[in-house]
Amino acid sequence: MEKKEKKKKPWAGRFSGDLSDIAERISSSIHFDFRLHPYDIRGSVVHAKMLNRIGILSDQELSLIVNGLNEIENELRDDGSGFSGYLEDIHMNIEAELTRRIGDAGKKLHTARSRNDQVALDMRLYLREESVAVDGLIGRMIELLADIAEKKMDAVMPGYTHLQVAQPVRFSHHLLAYAWGLVRDRGRLKAAAAACEGLPLGSGACAGVNYPVDREFMRKELGFKEIIPNSMDAVSDRDFVLDFLYFASVCGTRLSRFCEEIVLWSSAEFGFVRLSDSVTTGSSIMPQKRNPDIAELIRGKSGRLAGNLISVIVLLKGLPMAYNRDFQEDKERLFDSVDTIKLCLEGMIEMLSTMTVNTERMIKAAARNFSTATDIADYLVMKGVPFRESHEIVGRIVRSCEEKNIDFFLLKPEDFREFSPLFGDDVIDVADPLKSPERKLSAGSTSMKEISAQIKALKQLIT
């Protein structure tokens, strides 16, 4: 499309003067809402067909409009170039260009329609389509985590609480904790997409329109599940935007927590994983550095996702019914969250798929800091000692080992018996961190049997 000369505003009949330059710049949204053009054109085609059905457009006018819109779509560029800021938004730009090409028939297209129900439609169509793409990325990440877990089933590492060594767990169990969180994120995304399934078109500015518009026809043509029953609600509802922003914020927070652990695991102090050169960067001054920049950036971008959610909540909280121009501000936040969560998921997939796992370092870490203390306490419980007493006995063993600067993995059976005569020679096996995971009998635990069941269940969910 060629750049347009300054043209008359669609509401110019009401005003005798022009907007000031600053008012023009504040009003313009074309620099970000241009990405709605495929959905705007799709909605306009269906709206035109409906106008033809109720006798507003002749067959010839319908043909001119549909062909003209298709031509415009084929020529539009996704970078927003060629649009006029004077015409404010994508809706007016497309309508003006259509009228320039086909004449008076283009002026009829906006009959029985407001930009209020038009933009509400475009955003629902946009978000419905983007949700499919985001869902695909989440599915890929869940599948990747399940595959890595299956390949690294034997790897044992320390589990942490308060970032202190707690109990031995399988590395695969740790990964699957994130996979199950992503399953819940997928559910939130599904709910956000479902919130887009109401058709607002045909509601006009707020009160409905003075034409017998066939909203059921438009619903079927555009693939919506229902018609929004209240015209004021139809043009002012942005719950579906909030639902997506909430999903993106929660999912982004999960990815941020995962990235924090990857940053720790890839450090020299942990050495549990090594990130590939494709996702690490160097230092401008320190030649030895391999920085986990991608993990850190994803961790940082989660703040933007949370900020976008809060921004739109604050935007909406004081608005009366029905449409208000403030709504223009929701798009940049929505578009940014869509782009950001997709980028973060793609980054996580690349980072995890190229990551090397250092099983030996994990095992060595699990064999320090008394990681099987709970196993030893439970050993005494099985001998008839109340848990609180067994907890105290093992606590004394730990304190004694700390004073001697040793770990109880180095103790002999007779050393344990100094604290309780109930310790048998088999306590050495109980203290072994590599054997600890298989002693977990509860459903959902870190035993190999339970992890295998989790992997199977996850793979069934994503097929």
Whether 283 sits among the annotated catalytic residues: the reply is yes
Residue 143 has pLDDT above 80, yes or no: yes
What percentage of the chain exceeds 90 in pLDDT?
86
Residue 3 has pLDDT above 50, yes or no: no
Q: Which pLDDT value is given to residue 153?
A: 94
What is the pTM (predicted TM-score) of this model?
0.92
For 217, what's the count of Cα atoms within 13 Å in the CB-facing half-sphere?
14
Out of 89-93, 336-340, 355-359, 382-386, least confident range: 89-93
Q: Which pLDDT value is given to residue 29?
A: 76
CA distance from start to end of the chain: 43
Reported as type and span, the H/E element at residue 273 is: strand 273-274
Q: Which pLDDT value is given to residue 4?
A: 44
Whether 284 sits among the annotated catalytic residues: the reply is no
Residue 193 has pLDDT above 70, yes or no: yes
Residue-level length of the chain: 463
What separation in angstroms does the CA of 85 have from each of 88, 94, 120?
Answer: 5, 12, 21
* One-letter identity of residue 105: A
Per DSSP, helices labelled H in 103-212 are 104-107, 115-151, 171-194
Q: Which pLDDT value is given to residue 88?
A: 75
Confidence of residue 26 (pLDDT cuts 50, 70, 90): confident
* One-letter identity of residue 176: L
The answer to whether the beta carbons of residues 404 and 379 sit under 8 Å apart is: no
Residue corresponding to tokens 């084929």: 74
Pairing of strands 273-274, 356-357: antiparallel
Residue 374 has pLDDT above 90, yes or no: yes
Domains along the sequence of the chain with CATH? 19-111 (1.10.275.10), 116-156+171-216+226-359 (1.20.200.10), 365-462 (1.10.40.30)
For residues 326, 96, 205 and 310, what is the CA-based torsion angle, rounded to 10 degrees? -20
Please report how the helices 115-151 and 448-462 are oriented relative to each other, as an axis angle in degrees rounded to 10.
Answer: 150
Residue 228 has pLDDT above 80, yes or no: yes
Residue 5 has pLDDT above 80, yes or no: no
Categorise residue 275: left if φ over 0, alpha if ψ from -120 to 50, beta otherwise: beta
Q: Which pLDDT value is given to residue 11?
A: 54
Q: Which pLDDT value is given to residue 9?
A: 58
Q: Which pLDDT value is given to residue 22?
A: 80
Cβ count within 10 A of residue 393: 17
* Per-residue pLDDT tens digits for 247-305: 999 999 999 999 999 999 999 999 999 999 999 999 999 999 999 999 999 999 999 99
The answer to whether the beta carbons of residues 144 and 352 sit under 8 Å apart is: yes
Confidence of residue 71 (pLDDT cuts 50, 70, 90): very high
Of the two residues 401 and 30, the one the predictor is more confident about is: 401
Distance CA 259, CA 248 (A): 16
* Per-residue pLDDT tens digits for 413-460: 999 999 999 999 999 999 999 999 999 999 999 999 999 999 999 999
Q: Which pLDDT value is given to residue 30?
A: 82
Q: Which pLDDT value is given to residue 85?
A: 61
Residue 170 has pLDDT above 80, yes or no: yes
Catalytic residue among 16, 20, 162, 284: 162
Q: What is the mean pLDDT of residues 40-47?
A: 98
Q: Which pLDDT value is given to residue 386?
A: 97
* Per-residue pLDDT tens digits for 104-136: 999 999 999 999 999 999 999 999 999 999 999
- Token pair listed for 302: 């989660």
Catalytic residue among 58, 267, 278, 283: 283
Q: What is the mean pLDDT of residues 337-363?
A: 97
Q: Tell me which residue of 49, 61, 59, 52 sits closest to 99, measured CA to CA.
A: 61
Residue 6 has pLDDT above 70, yes or no: no
Q: Tell me which residue of 284, 281, 308 sits closest to 296, measured CA to CA.
A: 281
* One-letter identity of residue 100: R
